[in-house]
Amino acid sequence: MTFSEFKFCVLADLYRLDGQVSKSKLLKEILFGEAFKFLFWFRVCNWSRSTITLKYTLYPVARIVFNHYTYKFGISIPIGTQIDAGFYIGHFGCIIVNPECKIGKNVNISHGVTLGQANRGERRGSPSIGDNVYIAPGAKIIGKIKIGNNVAIGANSVVTKDIEDNAVVVGIPGKVISSNGANDYVALTDYMDKIA
């Protein structure tokens, strides 16, 4: 990850909070925010591992801070997990993401969500989440499945099969109930012109 990519991801994540990007807002969220603070240090760790100099200077310090916030906020997203720009954590607490997951841009994730690995069968592996996806509180997405773009996954749903674009999924097991997608759930995605 280059510094430009790192900066873009951090500012996109910041913009997704309330549509504002400024140095004072960034500092405020790093010092007093919760979920964004965790995500910021996640991004710092991933960026600082990319060069030899940073790997032995900034990364060890960033890793200590990141580990502290992992336990403090109850968010288990391992360093190295592929998460694109505009990631939004609505509420911290009990979020578990397998390191092999791939998460697209502008994904909203809520408390109590698990993106987990299946250890046997044809779906052995971890999920891949598309762009502009909303994952409601308590949802579980398990196995090597593909969640399409603009998908909304309802509270406490358990998803173990591929989901097409624009689907709304609810229940255990997760079933598609409409094709209205996540349009009203995933907001503030117009950051390209605002932070470039």
For residue 178, the SS3 value is: strand
Choose among 133, 132, 135, 91: nearest CA to 115: 135
Q: Respond yes or no: is residue 91 known to be catalytic.
A: no
Reported as a single tens digit per residue, the pLDDT across 7-19 is 999 999 999 999 9
- Residue-wise pLDDT for 38-90, tens only, equals 999 999 999 999 889 999 999 999 999 999 999 999 999 999 999 999 999 99
Per-residue pLDDT band for 92 (boundaries 50, 70, 90) equals: confident
DSSP designation for 113: -
Q: Are 114 and 141 in contact (CB under 8 A)?
A: yes
What pLDDT was estimated at residue 71? Answer: 96
Domains annotated for the chain, with CATH where assigned, are 3-187+191-195 (2.160.10.10)
Other Cβ atoms less than 10 A from the Cβ of 154: the count is: 19
- CA dist 87 → 106, 122, 173, 193 (Å): 5, 29, 26, 17
Q: In this predicted structure, what is the pLDDT of residue 141? A: 98
**What φ, ψ does residue 123 adopt, rounded to 5°?**
-100, 25
Q: Which of 37, 43, 105, 111 is the catalytic position?
A: 111
pLDDT at 177 over 70: yes
With a cut of 80, say whether residue 119 has pLDDT above it: yes
Q: How high is the pLDDT of residue 150?
A: 98
Whether residue 1 has pLDDT greater than 90:
no
Percent of the chain with pLDDT over 90: 92
Q: If you count DSSP H runs as helices and E runs as strands, how many of each does the chain have, helices first?
A: 6, 15
DSSP-assigned letter for residue 148: -
Average pLDDT, the chain: 95
Is 90 exceeded by the pLDDT of residue 196? no
Look up tokens 């509180």; give the residue.
Answer: 137
Question: Is the pLDDT at 173 greater than 90, yes or no?
Answer: yes
Place 112 in a pLDDT band, splitting at 50, 70 and 90. very high
**Residue 152: strand pairing partners:** 134, 168
Strands of 168-170's sheet in order across: 88-89, 108-109, 134-135, 152-153, 168-170, 175-178
